[in-house]
Amino acid sequence: MGFKAVILDLDGCVYKGRKPVEGAAEALDTLRDMGLKLLFLTNNATRTVEDYVAKLNAMGIRCVESEVLTSGYATSIYLADRYGRVRILPVGGEALEKELSRMGHEVLDWRKGGDPEFVVACLDFGFSYEKLKRACLAIFRGARFVATNTDPTLPVEDHLLPGAGSIVAAISKATGKRPLVIGKPSRRIMDIALRRLGVDGSETIVVGDRLSTDVRAGKRISAFTVLVLTGASSLADLERWRGGQPDLILNSISELPKALKRLGEF
């Protein structure tokens, strides 16, 4: 199959909340030793690239900034590539604002409003009716609606929390507008990821814990898809799933190197 790179989800795949998945660090080191490029690709835009690098290294998982792509950063890249520098009203925290500024966009203060060209929404732990109102008013006046992702939930240590999809849905319901989605399973973020890695989809392994985002995104780029059972999707979900089936199902990411060797790839 000629694999050259692995695209890995974070929440529910490499770690859950503040705890790394057992054996993750060792497995990722082994993948590097096998000659594979790694890219950590997360829909969670509540942290910056630098935040994720620090978090992973603190867990004993080696990582540098060029190996992390968040949906917030991907949104910043996509808008810059497509529209140049634009004015954005963010519905998110400080991390989203920093990632949008990274590509030179003008990020407006949601308290003051302004005249945004885009409203960009992500998981926002400080979401309020006032933010909802400001976002909706901007869209009513012609701003385009963009979502970093629409994940319904966020896996943490031993349960699930409401995800960005719940906030995006509130804005969509009030305005009647469907957002342009950048994060997984969109092809938009996957193309940015492949460009960064310098590989084709068929040369890539996509690993994640959610059928509707990770596996579906991998299928869209003709990658080899791996579902790990440490996060959002379970075997029961797999039985009900009507999308493309993962190419491999593992209990956790710790099993990936041996599984690839069994397939005769290394």
Please answer whether residues 6 and 207 qualify as being in contact, where contact means their C-beta atoms are separated by less than 8 angstroms. Answer: yes
* 9 catalytically annotated: yes
The packing angle between helices 164-175 and 129-140, to 10°, is 50
Alpha helices, DSSP H only, in the chain? 24-33, 49-58, 71-83, 94-101, 129-140, 164-175, 187-197, 216-220, 235-240, 256-262
Among residues 9, 124, 151, 209, the one annotated as catalytic is 9
Contact 257, 33 (CB under 8 A): no
C-beta of residue 213 within 8 angstroms of C-beta of residue 151: yes
One-letter identity of residue 14: V
Q: Which residues pair with 155 in a beta bridge?
A: 160
Output the 3-class SS for 231-265: CCCCHHHHHHCCCCCCCEEECCHHHHHHHHHHCCC
Altogether, the residues listed in the chain come to a count of 266
Please give the C-alpha separations between residue 114 and each of 76, 79, 97, 106, 110, in angstroms, as whole numbers. 19, 19, 15, 11, 8
Active site residue 151: no
Please give the DSSP secondary-structure letter assigned to residue 203: G
Rounded Cα distance, 53 and 134, in Å:
32
* Of 11, 151, 209, 214, catalytic: 11
Q: Which residues form the catalytic set?
A: 9, 11
